[in-house]
Each structure stands twice: as C-alpha cells, then as structure tokens.
C-alpha cells in the first residue's frame, strides 16, 4: 500500500506532463515568415547626422577587432558601418553574443531578459523579434542620426545546428527558473560562419556608430502587463562591421 506524506499535495495532470519548466524548445525552422517583407529597407536621402543632445552607448568598453585599435578612426565623412544583431546562431567573432529563438508551440512566449554576461545568448520569441523589427523601422524613420538602412538576413542553410533543447534545472520559483537559467553548452559554443547566422543588420554613417548602438539598447519588449518591459538584449555584445562585413569592434 502506498503511503502518501501528509505535507505533499495530490499530483495534478500538469505534474504528469514532461515538464515544460525543465526545457525550452528552440525553433530551428525557417524564420522568413516571422518578419513581414520587405526584408531590406535601403537608405533614404543622405541627410547629415545631427548629434546634438543625442546619447552615445557607454554601458561597456568597446573591444576592437584586429587590426583595429581604440579609438576607432573614421576614414572619411561618408564611411558606412553596420551593427549585426544576432537572431539565431553565433557570429564568427570571439566574445560576441549568440542568439536563439524559442519554438512558439512548445516554449513559453514571454521573451527572456538578457543575461548578466555576454556569454549568455539573446533569447528571442517570435513576438519579440517582430517587435524589435518594428522598433528599428520606427527608429530609422524618426532618428536624427542620418540615413539608416536595415536588412533581415537568413542563411542559405535554413536549419541551425544548435541544440534544440535548453535544459533547465528545477527551481521553486518557476518564472525565475525560466527567465534566468541558461544552458551551459553556450559557454562552449563554436562560432559558425556569418553566412549560417540569422541576423538583423543596421547600416549607418560610421561617425554615429555608438549613437546607433545606444538606440538599439533602448529597445524594450512590452508585455501584457504595462508595468513590465523586458530588456531582451541586456548585457549583449554586438558586432560592428565595415562596408565589407569585416569586424571593427564589439560592444
């Protein structure tokens, strides 16, 4: 005869399910339909940047990518650079933050706040990804940083080879567990070629790179609760590239 401990509640059907709180299932399917077309917005008129009263990103010390050194010089007034925001995969530069996308069918769809270190991946949901795209489109139209162009780039190989599950340890506080725990595999990840990564690219005048980085950092995902906005990219280190997609710095 089974004897139940009096301090334990009866098990519910939810208890019998393979615990969704223990695993986050990653979306490895094509992401083309998550972002509505067009996936490319070219630069508008070549209006000059107006840097008065605009803030520059200063949350972390930039890391120059060889052969560059700090301070990064601008060769001429019309030089262009671009920030790469990873959506899924790992950019091929050491110390750059990687990204994953949660499967909308099997994983919670409240996006996770960014990690405390750059080694923790950005964790996107479909809704957060769409919201960020809409945010940068609005930023492009309203900014005083000169002409910006945007692109959403997906690889020729449509399926990521990232592990499709993130194991989460049991935790008494389910929400904290889901929002904070990261899989240790990401600390040992191997960088993939840029062509295999899904990313958003923001082209801009080189002289305003850190101002654009500040604008990216301001993005917050609005949840159903008006008081709660999630910093999806908190702590992320993004890569700045030149016109040939060569790395310039990480910030």
Residues 183-234: tens digit of each pLDDT: 434 434 445 578 889 999 999 999 999 999 999 999 999 887 777 889 999 9
Q: Give residue 51's pLDDT.
A: 74
The answer to whether residue 46 scores a pLDDT higher than 80 is no
Q: Say how far residue 243 (Cα) sits from the centre of its chain.
A: 22
- Find out whether 80 and 202 touch, Cβ atoms under 8 Å: no
Q: Identify the H or E element spanning 250.
A: strand 247-250
Domain boundaries, given as residue ranges, for the chain? 40-155+194-250
What is the mean predicted confidence (pLDDT) over 51-71?
88
Strands (E), 26-89: 40-41, 63-64, 80-88
More confident residue, 42 or 74: 42
CB neighbour list of residue 22: distance below 8 Å, 6 or more residues apart: 167, 168, 169, 170
- The b/e string for 143-153 (b: 16+ C-beta within 10 A; e otherwise) is bebbbbbbebe
Q: What is the pTM of this model?
A: 0.77
What's residue 185's pLDDT?
Answer: 42
Q: How many helices (H) and strands (E) does the chain have?
A: 4, 13
pLDDT per residue as tens digits for the range 110-138: 777 776 566 789 999 999 999 999 999 99
| CB contact at 8 A, 121 and 98 | yes
User: 15 versus 119: which is more confidently predicted?
Assistant: 119
pLDDT band at 58 (very low <50, low <70, confident <90, very high): confident
pLDDT tens-place string over residues 62-94: 999 999 999 988 877 788 999 999 999 999 999
C-alpha to C-alpha distance for 20 and 51, rounded to whole angstroms: 47
Identify the CA nearest to 213 among candidates 69, 56, 63. Answer: 56
């Amino acid at each position: 005869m089974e004897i139940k401990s009096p301090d334990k509640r009866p098990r519910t059907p939810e208890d019998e399910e393979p615990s969704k709180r223990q695993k986050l299932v990653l979306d490895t399917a094509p992401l083309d339909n998550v972002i509505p077309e067009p996936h490319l917005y070219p630069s508008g008129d070549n209006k000059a940047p107006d840097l008065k009263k605009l803030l520059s990103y200063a949350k972390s010390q930039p890391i120059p990518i060889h052969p560059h050194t700090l301070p990064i010089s601008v060769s001429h007034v019309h030089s262009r650079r671009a920030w790469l925001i990873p959506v899924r995969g790992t950019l091929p530069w050491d110390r750059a933050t990687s990204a994953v996308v949660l499967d909308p069918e099997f994983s919670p769809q409240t996006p996770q706040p960014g990690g405390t270190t750059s080694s923790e991946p950005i964790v996107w949901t479909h809704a957060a990804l769409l919201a960020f795209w809409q945010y940068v489109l609005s930023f492009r139209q309203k900014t005083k940083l000169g002409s910006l162009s945007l692109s959403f780039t997906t690889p020729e190989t449509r399926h990521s080879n990232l592990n499709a599950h993130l194991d989460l340890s049991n935790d008494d506080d389910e929400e904290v567990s889901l929002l904070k725990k990261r899989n240790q595999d990401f600390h040992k990840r191997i960088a993939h070629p840029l062509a295999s990564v899904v990313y958003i690219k923001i082209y801009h005048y080189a002289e305003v790179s850190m101002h654009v980085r500040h604008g990216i950092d301001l993005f917050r995902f609005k949840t159903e609760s008006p008081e709660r906005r999630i910093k999806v990219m908190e702590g992320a280190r993004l890569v700045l590239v030149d016109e040939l997609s060569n790395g310039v710095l990480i910030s």
